[in-house]
Amino acid sequence: MVERRQALDIHAAVRAVKAGFDAIELQALGGNLLSRFLSPLTNKRTDAYGGSLENRARILVETVSAIKKEVGEDFPLICRINGDDLLEGGMVPEDYQSLVPRLEEAGVHALNLMPGWYETRRPVNQMNVPPGAFVYAAAALKKVAHIPVAANIRIKDPQMAEQILATGKADLVAMCSALMADPYLPQKAREGRMEDIRPCVACCNCWSDLAGRRIPIGCSVNARMGMESKYVIAPAQQPKTIWVVGGGPAGMEAARVAALRGHSVRLYDNRDRLGGQMLYADLPPHKGEWREYIAYLSTQLKKLGVDLRLNHKVEADEIIAADPDAVILATGARSLIPAITGVKGEHVATCVEVLTGQKKVGERVVIIGAGSVGCETAEYLVQQGKTVTLLEMQNAIGPDVDYWNRWVLLDRLNQAGVRMLVNARAEEITAEGVSVNVGGQSELITADSVVLAAGAKSHNPLLAPLEGQVRELHSIGDCAKPQKVRQAVDQGFRLGMTI
């Protein structure tokens, strides 16, 4: 097995050199075979490859030496290691400090850190992880290393990156998701255009694509990610006057791209600020980075000269009279009110009403619907000291939560003491609480307040009166079909690109 693994790495390195790459990065992290040899938690061998750190590192050192023999001593070879396994019984920064001299002696030119294994039960990439949370691991290795050390993970702000370098905690800063969100981040930072950097919001859709859905990686805020050759923003052959109704992610992205192409764009929203449903998405705990994306889009629309008409509920007659070349409807969705007896009671509220403070809740709360919105509202309420029960008709809590975020959210809910019931159908809301059928058994769950998180329904009141009355009409985002930010942004981009 040792020889086979080394042969695979050597062949891959040779192919990379032949393909014209400028460097090779050998990965010994995350629970792959090389890292499992390194860790005393998984390496129980009693031969020359087990026991002491010197023995456990032998396969990695030998692999590095063999690769250098094939590609040349001077070809840049980076080794990516954890720096901290984040596993009880695994390697900690002090262990990796002892590993560094062995890698240097083998000829590694630089180290790149990515803490944690796939088995780690501690969030690493998610939005609830503070930016720069793992710089300590790079700083620990920097103390003993004579080769460059790169800090990594949850670093997306160029100013934070500069501070890491200035304080000597690392020699380099590596970014991945931040560059997927905006591949021009380094150039914009160099030019001092911080407000033009499209921010990674740590939604982890890219990780869910890779590890959960096993599809090509995409990005919630950058529709061009992986589609650069197909999604091209070209100047419009015939500039148009375009009206966009709705300032959520779909409407803003459509307006941004259309304006980039030279169209004259006007955007209406009946609120006093842009954001649409994202204005609610950033209210639960650990979701605040969505505000950065709202700010980015708002800034871009202003810089592109989009005519923003806020606090204005535009009507069909006004649109028809103005006769724009094209109208884009992006009026979003509204909370779905389930047909449950007692749903109109005074102690019943929607998640939006609770999150925005429009309605207050009592000490004992039942939330009907345990999708992402219901789960996040539950966390919001338990942080206020409320006792919360989540009801879900399906057989899993958070069925719509992305793979990379779901276990983190469920861990937090469990730790907070939220009661979670699956296969639970709310049959009646009474003054005492909610009558529930759980797997065929009836139960009354006492509650002071009931919160509805039963999903959303499209809100598109202008579609019917405008059909056949304007030259060109489009519906995108939630008003076409309730969906995630990623799908809304993609629809907005594609329409802005082609209209």
Residue 486: CB atoms within 10 A of its CB come to: 20
Smallest CA-to-CA distance from 47 within 38, 56, 36, 39 is with 56
Task: Please give the chain's pLDDT, 499 residues, in tens.
Answer: 667 777 888 899 999 999 999 999 999 999 999 999 999 999 999 999 999 999 999 999 999 999 999 999 999 999 999 999 999 999 999 999 999 999 999 999 999 999 999 899 999 999 999 999 999 999 999 999 999 999 999 999 999 999 999 999 999 999 999 999 999 999 999 999 999 999 999 999 999 998 888 889 999 999 999 999 999 999 999 999 999 999 999 999 999 999 999 999 999 999 999 999 999 999 999 999 999 999 999 999 999 999 999 999 999 999 999 999 999 999 999 999 999 999 999 999 999 999 999 999 999 999 999 999 999 999 999 999 999 999 999 999 999 999 999 999 999 999 999 999 999 999 999 999 999 999 889 999 999 999 999 999 999 999 999 999 999 999 999 999 999 999 999 999 999 999 9
Joined tokens for residue 150: 């790169």
- Residue 3: what are its φ and ψ, rounded to 5°? -65, -40
Query: Domains, the chain, ranges and CATH?
Result: 2-175 (3.20.20.70), 241-335+457-498 (3.40.50.720), 348-454 (3.50.50.60)
pTM: 0.93
At 4 the pLDDT is 76
Residue 323: CB atoms within 10 A of its CB come to: 12
For every residue of 377-441, DSSP letters joined together read HHHHHHTTT-EEEEE-SSSSSSTTS-HHHHHHHHHHHHHHT-EEESSEEEEEE-SSEEEEEETTE
| Pairing mode, strands 449-452 and 348-350 | parallel
Chain centroid to Cα 332, Å, comes to 21
Which residues make beta-bridge pairs with 326?
242
Joined tokens for residue 496: 């802005």
Q: What is the DSSP letter of 308?
A: E
Q: What is the DSSP letter of 34?
A: H
Residue 474: CB atoms within 10 A of its CB come to: 17
Q: How far apart are CA 155 and CA 130, in angstroms?
A: 9
Q: What is the DSSP letter of 112?
A: E
Residues sharing a CB contact under 8 Å with residue 191, sequence separation 6 or more, in sequence order: none
Contact call for residues 494 and 231 (beta carbons, < 8 A): yes
| Pairing mode, strands 333-335 and 456-458 | antiparallel
The CB-side HSE value for 249 (13 A sphere, CA atoms) comes to 27
Residues sharing a CB contact under 8 Å with residue 147, sequence separation 6 or more, in sequence order: 104, 108, 109, 110, 111
Residues sharing a CB contact under 8 Å with residue 418, sequence separation 6 or more, in sequence order: 378, 379, 382, 388, 389, 390
Helix, strand, coil in percent for the chain, rounding step 5? 35, 15, 45
Contact call for residues 333 and 478 (beta carbons, < 8 A): yes
- Residue 25: what are its φ and ψ, rounded to 5°? -120, 115
Rg for the chain (alpha carbons), in Å? 27
Q: How far apart are CA 11 and CA 168, in angstroms?
A: 36
At 353 the pLDDT is 97
